[in-house]
Amino acid sequence: MSKFTDLGLRAPILRAIEEGGYETMTPIQSQAIPQILEGKDLIGVAQTGTGKTAAFSLPIIQMLLKAEGQRTAKATRTLILAPTRELAVQISDNVRAYSKHLHLRSTLVYGGASEKPQIKAMQPGVDILIATPGRLLDLMNRSLINLRLVEFLVLDEADRMLDMGFIRDIKKIIAQLPKKRQTVLFSATMPKSVETLANSILINPVRVEVAPAATTAEKVDQHVLMVPKHRKRDLLEHVLKDDAIKRVLIFTKTKHGANRVSDFLEKLGITSGAIHGNKSQNARQKALNEFRAGDIRALVATDVAARGIDVDGVTHVINFELPNEPDSYVHRIGRTARAGATGISLSFCDIEERAFLKDIEKNIRQPVPLFEDHPFHDEGMAEKPGTGKKGAKPSARKPRQNAGKHKENRRINQPKAHGSEGGSGASATGGGGENTSGAAPNARPGKHSQRKGRPSHKTGNKPGGGNRSGNRNARSA
C-alpha cells in the first residue's frame, strides 16, 4: 500500500494531503498509518524528515472524526508531547494543514511565551493539544488543563525528551491520563531508557522502523574540513563566498557561539539569524520564518533549538563545531536531506574535535571524506594531535596556490549527480568519474575519501548547483 487513497481516509483529509503536494506515502507512513487506524499502540523508530508527523497525525485526525465536535472545557481528546517549542509549532502547523477542511480544534502549549493566550485557547476544550512537558505540567497543576478525557497520546522524539531530562515530567503527565487510550511513541533512536518508558506506557505495541541513522547520512554528501579553531570564522567567510550555498544551517555548540557566528555573518553582510534556548519564542519563530521564506541566507542554531526544524530547500549544513554526540551529527546533516532530497554538509574540525569525528564515523559506519582545498587546511593539519597547539607557525605558512579562490569551492558546494529531478535520491548514484572540474590536483582522495562509488568532490552536475534548492522542494513521487 503506497497511496494515501488506499487508507480509507475521509475525503477532506485526502483533499488536504493532495493540496500539501504529497503523492505517495513515505515508508513510515505506509507502515504506521494502517496500524494506528486499527487502534493499536505503536512504537515508531523514525527520524524527523521521514514523514513521521503525518504518520501519526493523519490516522488520529481520522479517528477523532468519530466524535467530531465533542469537546469539554479545558480538556483535550489528543495529547501530542514534543521536546521543543520548534517541534511543537511544526507539528501544530502540520496538524492544522491536514485538518484544514474539518472542524477540529487544535492548540499549542509551550514555555517561553505568555501563558494567557494558551490558557484561553484551552478554555472551550480542544481535539488536539500539542505541548512541551514543562508548561503543560504547570497548567495541569493549576487545573487549567484537564487530561482525563485523552483518547490518543503521542510522544514525539521520545529519545530527545529523555535526553533533555523530561522523564519525571512525562511520568507525572501520563499519570493523569486515562488508562484506556491509544498511545503512539516515536523516537529517532531506541536506547534502553526509551524502551523502558515505552514498556511502561504502551500496551502490546506494534513496532515499525525506518531509516536507521546511517541511511540518513547516506543521502548527504559529507565533507570534513580540517581547520584550527581560531581560523574557523575565516573558513566560514571563505566557504560562504560561494553563492551556490543558498540556504545554510550552521550549527554551533553553544548559545553564545551561535550569537557570535550570527553577528560575524551580519558584519560580512550575510543575512542571518540565530535560534537557541536563550532567545524568546517570538525571536526564534521570526528567525525560522525568515529562513523559511528565504529572507535570510543563514540560520545559526544549537542542537536543541534546531531539533525538528523542518525547512525545505536547505542547500547546506555547516558544522561550525562538531557535536560530541554522534546522533546529533546525523540529525544536523539530516536537515539538508528532507523528504527524499539529498544535501551537502561541511564539518569544520579542529584538533580537539578529531575524537568526535572518529565517533561520528563509527556511528554512521562510513568515513567522512576529507576536503583539503581550502586556505586553512595546512594549518589545521599542522596542529600537533592531542595538544591542541599548532606545531608549525601557521602565519608563516603560505596558503596553497589558488587556495581560497572562489571556484575551488564549487567542488564541495555542488551536489553529486543524483539521476532524477524528483528528489527521491535516497541512494547515491553518483558513480563514475572523479573530479571533472579541472580544479587543483589535490582533488586526490584525502585520507577519508575512500568511499566506493561516491566521488566526494565530484562536480559536473547541474551548473550553478543552486538548482538543488528547487529539487529539495520536490515531493518524492
Given the rule CB under 6 A, which residues bind ligand AMP? 22, 25-26, 29, 48-54, 310, 338-339, 475-476
Closer of 229 and 475 to ligand AMP (Cβ): 475
8 Å CB contact between 169 and 134: yes
C-alpha cell at 442: 589535490
Residue 239 or 341: the one with the smaller Cβ distance to ligand AMP is 341
Q: Which is nearer to ligand AMP, 292 or 354 (CB)?
A: 292
Q: Which of 82, 62, 80, 45 is nearest to 190 (CA)?
A: 45
**What residues form DSSP beta bridges with 131?**
81, 109
Q: How far is the CB of 368 from ligand AMP (least distance, A)?
A: 24
Minimum gap (Å) between residue 230 Cβ and ligand AMP: 37
Chain center to CA of 244 = 21
3 vs 142, beta carbon nearer ligand AMP = 3
Task: Find where cell 478554555 sits.
Answer: 123
Q: For 378-390, give the DSSP string.
A: HHHHHBPTTT-SB
- Alpha carbon distances (Å) from 133 to 158, 169, 206: 12, 6, 25
CB of 235 to ligand AMP, least distance (A): 30
Nearest-approach distance from CB 7 to ligand AMP, in angstroms: 12
Q: Residue 273 CB, nearest distance to ligand AMP (Å)? A: 20
Angle of the 232-239 helix axis to the 406-413 helix axis, nearest 10: 80
H helix or E strand, kind and range, residue 298: strand 298-301
Q: Are 306 and 251 in contact (CB under 8 A)?
A: yes
Residue 126 buriedness (CB in 10 A; 0-12 / 13-18 / 19+) = buried
Grid coordinates given for 460? 559536473
Task: Name which of 16 and 170 has its Cβ closer to ligand AMP.
Answer: 16
Q: How far apart are CA 414 and CA 244, in angstroms?
A: 7
- CA–CA distance, 464 with 317 (Å, rounded to integer): 18
Least separation in angstroms between CB 45 and ligand AMP: 13
Q: Give whichever of 50 and 222 is closer to ligand AMP, judged by the CB atom.
A: 50
How far apart are CB 475 and ligand AMP at their closest, in Å? Answer: 4
Kindly state the smallest distance separating residue 414's Cβ from ligand AMP, in Å.
24
Q: How far is the CB of 406 from ligand AMP (least distance, A)?
A: 32
Cβ atoms of 371 and 446 closer than 8 Å:
yes
What span, in angstroms and rounded, lies between the C-alpha atoms of 124 and 119? 10
Contact (CB, 8 A) for 327 and 189: yes
Q: What is d(CA 163, CA 472) in angstroms, rounded to the nearest whole number?
A: 30
CB 57, min distance to ligand AMP, A: 9
User: Which residue's CB is nearer to ligand AMP, number 29 or number 107?
Assistant: 29
Alpha carbon distances (Å) from 239 to 215, 324, 357, 412: 27, 23, 20, 9
Task: Compare residues 50 and 414 and give the one whose CB is closer to ligand AMP.
Answer: 50
Which residues contact residue 358 at a Cβ distance below 8 angstroms, ignoring those fewer than 6 apart?
none
Q: What is the DSSP letter of 209?
A: E
Residue 423 contacts residue 412 (beta carbons within 8 Å): no
Q: Which is nearer to ligand AMP, 88 or 225 (CB)?
A: 88
Q: Residue 223 pairs with which residues in a beta bridge? A: 346
Least Cβ distance, residue 80 to ligand AMP (angstroms): 12
Q: Which is nearer to ligand AMP, 52 or 247 (CB)?
A: 52
Which helix (H) or strand (E) segment is 109 a member of?
strand 106-109
Closest approach of Cβ 403 to ligand AMP, in Å? Answer: 38
91 vs 150, which CB is nearer to ligand AMP? 91
Residue placing its CB nearer to ligand AMP in the complex, 157 or 242: 157
Residue 193 identity: S
